[in-house]
């Protein structure tokens, strides 16, 4: 019967039906194979994608401030220092987020224990209030410059630079044009923005806890899977051992009866020529050559090969399970050879 080399699709129903005809050791073997395949397919291999960033030729060194922005940076630092020393007025922070622009109104400062802080910023988490930071000073400096705040004239009088270091008007106009493309403007107070950030923080913590719980569940499932696989292996090994034990019991042991004694007539003995024989005693034999004269076969090694032999020299090979195998011949201690032409003796069947 020829078998096609093409793959044959087997449905799950066919497999389940075939399982009923399998023996216990085969079922455990199948279970182990199925668990191994399930483990391979459940694991996902994540490939890390390396993002290569090519540095543009002629770009500024990291941390260096472009020439056209030096004055702007100096103005922001001046504004921050002045605000911390003298306080600040209410101003607006404008930032683009997604497809909209947020306008957050920041409160003016108030003096608290010798330091200028935001109004209503004293809370349980910030008992000393909150002061203006560099990021917020950027918006304050822009507001003051556009509104003609006296501090900008003071800064102009103190700041000196080369003509080439002036702030690029084109850069500012480009930034303004980008912001004008936003689809909508959302106005918020500083308190509303703080509440929004707190809500996002809580949401992030909840997401973190959910991922942690998911990880713990996956770990528990993996542990149970390994436990089930180990139990299946144990049961398969146990079933295989029991099957081997039963197989050994099923092999019948042959009983070897002593060869029939041959009665030689006295006249025949007298007519035969006298043959000188070499008598081999037990003292001259090796331990493995001494076969008990009990009518049974015993393990015997000859020329490096294992046989089963009785006291009369009748020799058989070792069959499967340790029983009597094929007939070999009759061993002679005088010649130290096995006569393979000798006829196999007959045995009495056990009742």
- Using only the alpha carbons of the chain, give its radius of gyration: 50
Give 94's strand partners. Answer: 103
Look-up of token digits 């049961």: 235
Q: Looking at the structure, tell me whether residues 289 and 171 fall in a common domain.
A: no
Q: Which of the listed residues 195, 222, 249 is the one where a domain comes to its end?
A: 195
Mean pLDDT, rounded, for 113-129: 92
Q: Which of the listed residues 135, 167, 195 is the one where a domain comes to its end?
A: 195
Output the six-digit token pair for 345.
């003796």
Greater confidence, 3 or 39?
Answer: 39
Provide the pLDDT confidence category of residue 189 given band limits of 50, 70 and 90: confident
Provide the pLDDT confidence category of residue 346 given band limits of 50, 70 and 90: confident
Contact indicator for 100, 182 with CB cutoff of 8 Å: yes
**How many H-runs (helices) and E-runs (strands) does the chain carry?**
8, 10
The pLDDT of residue 89:
95
Say which residues have a Cβ less than 8 Å from residue 301's Cβ, sequence separation at least 6: 288, 307
Q: Which of the listed residues 195, 226, 248 is the one where a domain comes to its end?
A: 195
Provide the pLDDT confidence category of residue 281 given band limits of 50, 70 and 90: very low
Instruction: Average the pLDDT over each of 64-73, 186-195, 197-206 and give the range with the smallest value.
Output: 186-195
The pLDDT of residue 23:
86
Q: Is the pLDDT of residue 251 over 60?
A: no
The distance in angstroms from the start CA to the end CA of the chain is: 44
The count of other CB atoms within 10 Å of the CB of residue 118 is: 22
Closest CA to 300 of 329, 259, 280, 334: 329
Residue 254: inside a domain: no
Contact indicator for 338, 331 with CB cutoff of 8 Å: yes
Q: Is the pLDDT of residue 59 over 70?
A: no
Mean pLDDT, rounded, for 276-294: 55
Distance CA 299, CA 291 (A): 9
The pLDDT of residue 182:
46
The pLDDT of residue 284:
39
The pLDDT of residue 58:
55
Distance CA 213, CA 33 (A): 30
The pLDDT of residue 91:
94
Greater confidence, 90 or 349?
Answer: 90
Note every long-range contact of 105-112, with CB atoms under 8 Å and residues 24 or more positions apart, other chains counting: 105/187, 105/188, 105/189, 105/190, 106/136, 106/139, 106/140, 106/190, 107/189, 107/190, 109/83, 111/87
The count of other CB atoms within 10 Å of the CB of residue 139 is: 19
Residues recorded for the chain: 351
Residue 290: inside a domain: yes
Residue 121: inside a domain: yes
Domain that holds residue 322: 266-339
Q: Looking at the structure, tell me whether residues 72 and 167 fall in a common domain.
A: yes
Instruction: List strand residue ranges (DSSP E) for 100-162, in order.
Output: 100-106, 109-112, 115-118
Residue 205: inside a domain: no
Q: Looking at the structure, tell me whether residues 76 and 191 fall in a common domain.
A: yes
* Range from 35-49, 198-212, 238-252 that averages highest in pLDDT: 198-212
Give me the DSSP letters along 179-233. HHT-SEEEEEEHHHHHHHHHHHHHHHHHHHHHHHHHHHHHHHHHHHHHHHHHHHH
Q: Looking at the structure, tell me whether residues 300 and 181 fall in a common domain.
A: no
Q: Is the pLDDT of residue 321 over 90?
A: no
Residue 50: inside a domain: no
Residue 123: inside a domain: yes
Element (H, E) at 136: helix 134-147
Q: Is the pLDDT of residue 236 over 70?
A: yes
Residue 96: inside a domain: yes
The count of other CB atoms within 10 Å of the CB of residue 346 is: 9
Q: Looking at the structure, tell me whether residues 176 and 80 fall in a common domain.
A: yes
Total tally of structural domains belonging to the chain: 2
Mean pLDDT, rounded, for 171-195: 61
Q: Is the pLDDT of residue 179 over 60?
A: no
Residue 245 in 3-state DSSP?
Answer: helix
Closest CA to 69 of 150, 168, 155: 168
Q: Is the pLDDT of residue 170 over 60?
A: no
The pLDDT of residue 169:
45
Provide the pLDDT confidence category of residue 63 given band limits of 50, 70 and 90: low
Please report, rounded to a whole number, the percentage of residues in the chain having pLDDT higher than 90. Answer: 42
The pLDDT of residue 252:
55
Residue 45: inside a domain: no
Within its chain, how far is the Cα of 303 from the centroid? Answer: 53
The pLDDT of residue 283:
37
Mean pLDDT, rounded, for 151-167: 72
């Amino acid at each position: 019967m020829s078998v096609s080399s093409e793959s044959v699709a087997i449905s799950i129903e066919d497999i389940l039906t075939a399982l009923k005809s399998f023996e216990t050791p085969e079922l455990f073997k199948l279970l182990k194979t199925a668990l191994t395949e399930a483990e391979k397919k459940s694991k996902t291999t994540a490939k890390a994608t390396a993002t290569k960033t090519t540095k543009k030729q002629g770009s500024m060194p990291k941390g260096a401030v472009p020439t056209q922005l030096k004055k702007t940076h100096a103005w922001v630092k001046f504004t921050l220092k002045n605000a911390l020393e003298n306080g600040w007025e209410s101003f607006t922070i404008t930032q683009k987020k997604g497809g909209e622009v947020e306008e957050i109104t920041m409160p003016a400062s108030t003096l608290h224990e010798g330091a200028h802080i935001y109004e209503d910023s004293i809370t349980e988490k910030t008992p000393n209030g909150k002061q203006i930071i560099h990021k917020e000073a950027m918006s304050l400096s822009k507001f003051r410059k556009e509104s003609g705040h006296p501090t900008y004239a003071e800064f102009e009088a103190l700041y000196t630079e080369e003509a080439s270091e002036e702030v690029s008007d084109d850069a500012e106009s480009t930034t303004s044009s980008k912001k004008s493309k936003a689809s909508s403007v959302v106005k918020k107070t500083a308190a509303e923005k703080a509440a929004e950030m707190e809500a996002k923080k809580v949401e992030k913590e909840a997401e973190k806890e959910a991922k942690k719980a998911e990880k713990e569940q996956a770990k528990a499932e993996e542990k149970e899977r390994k436990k089930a696989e180990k139990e299946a292996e144990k049961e398969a090994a146990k079933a295989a051992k029991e099957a081997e034990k039963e197989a050994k019991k099923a092999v019948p042991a042959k009983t070897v009866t002593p060869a029939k004694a041959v009665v030689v007539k006295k006249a025949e003995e007298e007519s035969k020529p006298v043959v000188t024989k070499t008598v081999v005693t037990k003292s001259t034999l090796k331990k493995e050559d001494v076969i008990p004269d009990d009518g049974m076969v015993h393990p015997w090694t000859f020329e490096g090969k294992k046989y089963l032999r009785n006291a009369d020299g009748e020799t058989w090979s070792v069959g499967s399970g340790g029983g009597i195998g094929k007939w070999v011949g009759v061993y002679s201690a005088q010649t130290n050879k096995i006569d393979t032409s000798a006829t196999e003796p007959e045995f009495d069947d056990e009742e």
